[in-house]
Chains A and B, each alone.
Chain A
Amino acid sequence: MYAVTFHHMVVGLAAGSGTLMGICAFLAWLASYISNLKSSKSTLDKASYAASILTLITLPLAMLSGYYSVSDPSGSAILYNKFIFSGIAIGFTLSYIIGRRRFGSDMWNHSALANIQMLSALFGLTAIMILGSIGSKITLGESTLDIFPFWPEFMNSIVINQWISLSLLLIGLTSVIFSFRIVDSSA
Chain B
Amino acid sequence: MKSRILVLSLILTLLLATSSGVANPGGKGDSNRDYTCGGSCHGDPSLSSPSSAIIDVDIPSTVYSSTTAEVSVSISNLDTSDNGLVGIFLLGSKNGNSDHPEDYGWAIIQDPNGGSSNYIEAVSSDNQVTVSWVLLVPDDLGTKEIYVSIQHGSYYNHNNKAFIGETDAIVVNIEPIPENYPTLAEGWTSPEERISGDSSPITIRTVNTESLTVYWRLSGETSSHEATVDMVADQEWEVSLPATLGDTRIEYQIIASMDEFSNQMPWLSIGTSEPYFDGTSLGAKLQSVAFILIILGFMLSLQTWFAPRGVKKSIDHTTVVEESIVSKKTEESTSEPDSDYWSRLIKSDDNPGWLWDPVENEWVADPNLSGGEQ
Contacts and interface: CB of A to CB of B under 8 A. Distances in A.
B352 A109 contact: yes
Contact of A84 (B288, B298, B371): B288
A169 B290 contact: yes
A13 interface: no
B302 A116 contact: yes
B287 interface: yes
Interface string A140-173: 0100000000000101110111100110110111
Say what secondary structure dominates the interface of chain A: helix
Contacts of B280: 74, 162
A129 B370 CA distance: 38
Contact of A103 (B288, B301, B303): B303
A87 B286 CA distance: 10
Given A101-B314, A160-B283, A179 B292 contact: no
Contact of B309 (A109, A157, A159, A186): A186
Contacts of A187: 312-313, 316
Interface string B114-131: 000000000000000000
B144 to A, nearest CB: 44
Q: Which size class do B's interface residues fall under?
A: 35 or more
Contacts of A76: 274-275, 277
B299 A77 contact: no
Q: Which size class do A's interface residues fall under?
A: 35 or more
Contacts of B352: 109
Given A109-B352, A155-B275, A157-B279, A166 B286 contact: yes
Contact of B284 (A74, A90, A106, A178): A74
A179 B294 CA distance: 12
A92 B289 CA distance: 12
* Most chain B beta carbons < 10 A, residue from A83, A113, A166: A83
B291 A91 contact: yes
Given A87-B289, A106-B373, A169-B289, A179 B279 contact: no
Nearest to B288: A87
A113 B304 CA distance: 9
A169 B374 contact: no
Nearest to B280: A74
B311 to A, nearest CB: 5
Nearest to A183: B304
Contacts of B311: 103, 106-107, 110, 113
22 contacts: A63-B288, A73-B281, A75-B277, A76-B277, A87-B287, A91-B294, A91-B295, A98-B296, A99-B299, A99-B303, A101-B315, A103-B314, A109-B353, A110-B308, A116-B306, A155-B196, A165-B283, A169-B286, A169-B290, A172-B297, A180-B300, A183-B304
